[in-house]
Amino acid sequence: MDALFQAAEADSRVTLVVGDLGYSVVDQFAARFPNQFLNVGVAEQNMAGVAAGLALSGQIVFTYSIANFPTFRCLEQVRNDICYHGADVKITAVGGGFAYGALGVSHHATEDLAIMRSLPGMTVIAPGDPTEAARAVPAVIARSGPCYVRLGKAGEPQVHTGPIDFRIGQAIRVREGGDLTLITTGGLLANTMAAAEELSRQHRLEATVFSMHTLKPLDTDAVVTAARQTAMVVTIEEHSVIGGLGGAVAEVLAEQDAPRARLMRIGIPSAFDSRVGTQAYLRERHGLSVDALVGSIAGAVTAPAI
Amino acid sequence: MRSVQMVHRARSSHIGSALSIADLLAVLYGGRLRVDPTRPAWEGRDRMVLSKGHACVALYAALAERGYFPVEWLDTFYQNGTLLAGHATAGTPGIDVSTGSLGHGLSIACGMALAGRRAGADYRVFTVLSDGECDEGSTWEAVLFAPHHRLDNLVAIVDYNKIQSLGRVEDVLNLDPLADKWRAFGWAVREIDGHDLAKIDAAMDTLPLQAHRPTCLIAHTVKGKGVSFMENRLAWHYRPPEDDELALALEELTSA
């Protein structure tokens, strides 16, 4: 949000459009930049269409809502009105994955990356920590055309301790190791890094870790290099195993000439989970906690290749 | 006339929908829209969003007559590789917004109108909707939005020909009293005969109908207007005219 403040301050074309959500988050923005703010009400189809109209008239528009509302609810407007026109609309969803876990399936954003990734012209970004999120704001402004930015909730753990080189379409290597490669996107970066440390400590397995903050365009060089340099590539995401990070990496590796690394996709099965709870609880249930990641990855590495 | 020829040549559809807005577009492109065909992207132009994008042949004919592109281009309508697609598509000179799926145009027009007002620009935004697309919930989201933001630089024209895709509007999903609905949402509304050129022109004289309110013109129209055997006949939402029907239609349209 600070980054968006700076952007709005620096460029009067930057406009924030919300679908009546963002309590205690957007009001300061609205007070500071009344001419660059718009609350369309609980009307996401209109939000996407109005955003397209604003963008076609020269604005750089951020739409903002929770989980699936700024994407699925208005998917055809996103496709036809925003993507087909190449409109400068940056769709921002808060609550990626199980961030609103206790609110139930309606608020679980677990297929958004797959669907947004399939739209022509759409850039798809899921920052791994607050530093990446802050850097994503100016990056999507500088990138002309539609973008989807998937955020977690406020209070995500900080992973990067120093400055980072954040470029759209370029994975960030956050750890070096020769045994296997862990590729993650979005808010599971912290768990992935912790799992890598535990794999080293408990199993003497050294992992390279990539924060794949941009899902589209995918950093295929990073994927291909990982598959050449380590024996196993593991994708880790708080998203369906269909069509998201795991799907994208599988698409790249499937077209590579042998020899290549084995691929293991860790994510959410394509099934609704009516059990609700905190994000930590639901991550645990779906094998995304640090312990579960360590167990499944170590097990796969030591299992014989099929 | 050109619309009928295009649909005949292309063996395409929606001629009834095009004929019902031909007179409205004739007034708009005949001089009421502040546009410059030599500068399609001119910042100060009035915007026109054809929300009922399936009636694009009428728009193509109007744009060609206005000088946006050569009339010969109309021969390419619906053909492989053409700029003139079966629904209005941005990139065609004079067309800013691609449509084709109903219930999208009014929201985009709202965004354009709001942007214009915030920028202090004096352009206006026109959009032409079908009655059928007033079934779409998204249309009514935008109908709520425009008066709230006092978009009096926005003009929505509803082509109320009273026939939608599978039947008469009153049988499929009744809209009446349609003017009252728009009025209740906060629009300044006028009902006009959508085929009376003088009356359409007169309505354009008084825009906005009311300060601080968006304008809705409900144009009572006849689907297939001007061709006796097409008027009010649902079949002409789908079928193109045969050779003999084309000749007859052109004769009627010429003599009108």
Count structural domains, chain A. Answer: 2
Q: Amino acid identity of A246?
A: G
| Chain A contact probe: residue of B92, B102, B141, B149 with most A CBs at under 10 A | B141
Interface of B with A (CB under 8 A): 90, 96-101, 103-104, 106-116, 118-119, 137-138, 141-142, 144-145
> Both ends of chain B: CA-CA distance in Å?
11
pLDDT digits (tens, 9 = 90+) for B122-144: 999 999 999 999 999 999 999 99
3-state DSSP assignment of residue B142: helix
> Both ends of chain A: CA-CA distance in Å?
47
Cβ-based contacts of B104 with chain A (< 8 Å): 49, 76-77, 80-81
Between strands A147-150 and A89-94, the pairing is parallel
The CATH number assigned to the domain holding A75 equals 3.40.50.970
pLDDT digits (tens, 9 = 90+) for B55-86: 999 999 999 999 999 999 999 999 999 999 99
CB proximity under 8 Å: A 53-82 to B: 53-59, 76-77, 80-81
Identify whether residues A137 and A240 lie together within a single domain. no
Per-residue pLDDT at B6? 83
Q: Is A163 exposed, middle or buried (0-12, 13-18, 19+ CB in 10 A)?
A: exposed
pLDDT digits (tens, 9 = 90+) for A89-140: 999 999 999 999 999 999 999 999 999 999 999 999 999 999 999 999 999 9
For residue A263, the cross-strand partners are A233
Q: Where are the beta strands (DSSP E) in A46-110?
A: 60-66, 89-94
Q: Cα Rg for chain B, rounded, in angstroms?
A: 17
Q: Select from B99, B101, B109 the Cβ nearest to the Cβ of A53.
A: B109
Per-residue pLDDT at A56? 98
A258 vs A180: CA distance, rounded Å: 17
Per-residue pLDDT at B10? 86
Residue A139, in any domain of the structure: yes
Identify whether residues A179 and A289 lie together within a single domain. yes
Identify whether residues A107 and A137 lie together within a single domain. yes
Q: 């979005």: which residue's tokens?
A: A186
Per-residue pLDDT at B154? 98
Residue A255, in any domain of the structure: yes
3-state DSSP assignment of residue A32: helix
Helix axes A189-203, A290-302, angle to 10 degrees: 50
B251 vs B223: CA distance, rounded Å: 18
Q: Between chains, do B110 and A35 touch, taking CB under 8 Å as contact?
A: no
Six token digits for residue B126: 């026109």
Per-residue pLDDT at B8? 81
Q: Is the pLDDT of residue B7 over 90?
A: no
A199 vs B: CB within 8 A: no
Chain B: closest CA distance from residue A55 (Å): 8
Cβ-based contacts of B99 with chain A (< 8 Å): 80
Per-residue pLDDT at B9? 84
Q: Is the pLDDT of residue B186 over 80?
A: yes
- Secondary structure element (H or E) that encloses residue A234, with its range: strand A232-240
**How confident is the model over A40-53, as a mean pLDDT?**
98
Residue A130, in any domain of the structure: yes
| Contact between B83 and B133 (Cβ < 8 Å) | no
Identify whether residues A179 and A234 lie together within a single domain. yes
Per-residue pLDDT at A304? 66
Chain B: closest CA distance from residue A77 (Å): 7
A131 vs A124: CA distance, rounded Å: 17
B204 vs B209: CA distance, rounded Å: 9
For A193, which DSSP code? H
The CATH number assigned to the domain holding A266 equals 3.40.50.920
CB proximity under 8 Å: A 83-102 to B: 84-85
pLDDT digits (tens, 9 = 90+) for B87-112: 999 999 999 999 999 999 999 999 99
| Chain A contact probe: residue of B101, B107, B110, B118 with most A CBs at under 10 A | B107
Identify whether residues A223 and A270 lie together within a single domain. yes
CA A5 to each of CA A9, A22, A105, A232, B196: distance values in angstroms, whole numbers, following the listed order: 6, 15, 32, 42, 52
Q: Which domain holds residue A197?
A: 172-302
Dihedral of alpha carbons A267, A270, A272, A275, sign: negative
Q: Is the pLDDT of residue A305 over 80?
A: no
Q: Select from A50, A58, A76 the Cβ nearest to the Cβ of B110.
A: A50
Q: Is the pLDDT of residue A306 over 60?
A: no
Between strands A172-175 and A207-211, the pairing is antiparallel
**How confident is the model over B216-234, as a mean pLDDT?**
96
Percent of chain A with pLDDT over 70: 98
Per-residue pLDDT at A259? 66
Backbone φ and ψ of A193, nearest 5°: -65, -40
Q: How many CB pairs under 8 A join A and B?
A: 87
For B36, which DSSP code? -
**How confident is the model over A26-40, as a mean pLDDT?**
96
Per-residue pLDDT at A257? 85
A100 alpha-carbon distance from chain centroid: 15
CATH class as words, domain B2-255: alpha beta
Chain A: closest CA distance from residue B215 (Å): 18
Per-residue pLDDT at B164? 95
Backbone φ and ψ of A60, nearest 5°: -110, 110
Q: Between chains, do A80 and B98 touch, taking CB under 8 Å as contact?
A: yes
Identify whether residues A109 and A200 lie together within a single domain. no
For B30, which DSSP code? I
Cβ-based contacts of B145 with chain A (< 8 Å): 40-41, 43, 46, 50
**How confident is the model over B232-243, as a mean pLDDT?**
93
